[in-house]
């Protein structure tokens, strides 16, 4: 894999949140970054910041739910910079609501953007990458790729689908002996504008991320690592990793924890009223932002991801030790139990 400074990177959803943080991080290291999203003003603002930091940027307004636009994005990236080294599929939309309260059009839009948008991105990236016999595709999954969360039914479905699609396309490339890396990134809840931009049907209240919340720059750091180190999956944050581990161990237990005192619902609702503005079908005007409004809660680094998740042997040792410990604890039984 090339050093970041020598790479051409395509990023969808580059106008805000994780995509914007990643674009700025790649640009600061000298990469040539192709920025894609629906909001031209926000993309131009990011491009200016990248160029000021020493990188190069090219803006391509793109709705990832439309295959011709994603195909054009890949073509313009190659026309502008000659090739593509890393493609980050990051664009996403959401609605916080019970599926019973959602329209068919809303459900369809979430699946079209979140799942089909990434499938289109992979297909578009594979053309130039197969010709050059190199490249890295990074798909943005979530802890929700493994673990369901209430009020996010379509979003969870899309993230489960992305995980399965990523695993499948990886097998296709391995069979071809094609040296293209495909990585799934799985963060937990983040301090980004994603929750402000999502449509909400929560009794008039604004939606919010469930704590603990991480800063989007933590995910961007992990994405840059994936662009230079071949990895299958990378989970961002120890809490997300623990949720995935517990899901594998006992899904029913996690269900009970999320339903206890309505925590999984209550913790997703702010006391502030919803402003009724969202980006489900059209971009929100403005220059965009990396962060949301939960900065005072946001964790700005992850020891687990940086020092364990990124190193497979350390990760295997940790989870093996934890599994052995839990088995030993279960065999002992509760305190005071007869033996």
Catalytic residue positions? 155
Q: Taking the CB of residue 326, how many other CB atoms lie within 10 A of it? A: 14
The answer to whether the beta carbons of residues 191 and 295 sit under 8 Å apart is yes
Residues 6+ apart with CB under 8 A from 49: 24, 27
In angstroms, the Cα distances linking 59 to 20, 36, 40, 117, 247 are 13, 6, 8, 18, 40
* Whole-Å CA distances, 123 to 80, 169, 199: 19, 10, 29
What are the φ and ψ backbone dihedral angles of 123, each rounded to 5 degrees?
Answer: -60, -40
Mutual angle of helices 40-52 and 17-28, in 10-degree steps: 30
**Exposed/middle/buried for 261, CB within 10 Å: 0-12, 13-18, 19+?**
exposed
Total count of residues recorded for the chain:
339
> How is residue 210 written in tokens?
């469930």
> What tokens appear for 128 in the block?
């130039």
Contact status, residue 47 vs residue 32, Cβ threshold 8 Å: no
């Amino acid at each position: 894999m090339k050093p970041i400074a020598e790479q051409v990177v395509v990023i969808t959803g580059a106008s805000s949140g994780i995509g914007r943080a990643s674009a700025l991080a790649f640009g600061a290291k000298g990469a040539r970054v192709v920025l894609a999203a629906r909001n031209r003003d926000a993309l131009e603002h990011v491009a200016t910041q990248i160029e000021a930091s020493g990188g190069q940027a090219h803006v391509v307004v793109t709705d990832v739910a439309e295959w011709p636009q994603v195909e054009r994005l890949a073509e313009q990236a190659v026309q502008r910079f000659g090739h593509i080294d890393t493609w980050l599929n990051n664009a996403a939309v959401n609605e916080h609501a019970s599926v019973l309260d959602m329209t068919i059009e809303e459900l369809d839009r979430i699946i079209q953007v979140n799942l089909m948008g990434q499938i289109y991105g992979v297909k578009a990236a594979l053309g130039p990458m197969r010709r050059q016999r190199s490249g890295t595709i990074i798909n943005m999954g979530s802890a929700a790729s493994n673990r369901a969360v209430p009020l996010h039914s379509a979003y969870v479905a899309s993230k489960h689908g992305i995980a399965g699609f990523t695993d499948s396309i990886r097998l296709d490339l391995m069979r071809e002996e094609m040296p293209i890396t495909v990585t799934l990134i799985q963060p937990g809840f983040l301090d980004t504008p994603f929750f402000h931009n999502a449509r909400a049907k929560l009794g008039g209240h604004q939606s919010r991320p469930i704590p603990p919340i991480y800063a989007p720059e933590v995910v961007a750091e992990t994405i840059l690592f994936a662009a230079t180190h071949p990895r299958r999956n990378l989970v961002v944050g120890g809490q997300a990793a623990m949720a995935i581990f517990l899901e594998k161990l006992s899904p029913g237990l996690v269900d009970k924890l999320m339903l206890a005192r309505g925590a999984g619902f209550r913790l997703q609702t702010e006391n502030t009223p919803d402003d009724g503005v969202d980006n489900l079908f059209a971009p929100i005007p403005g220059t965009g932002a990396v962060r949301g409004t939960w900065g005072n809660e946001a964790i700005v680094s992850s020891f687990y991801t940086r020092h364990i998740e990124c190193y497979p042997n350390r990760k295997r040792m940790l989870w093996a030790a934890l599994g052995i410990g839990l088995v030993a604890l279960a065999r002992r039984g509760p305190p005071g139990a007869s033996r």
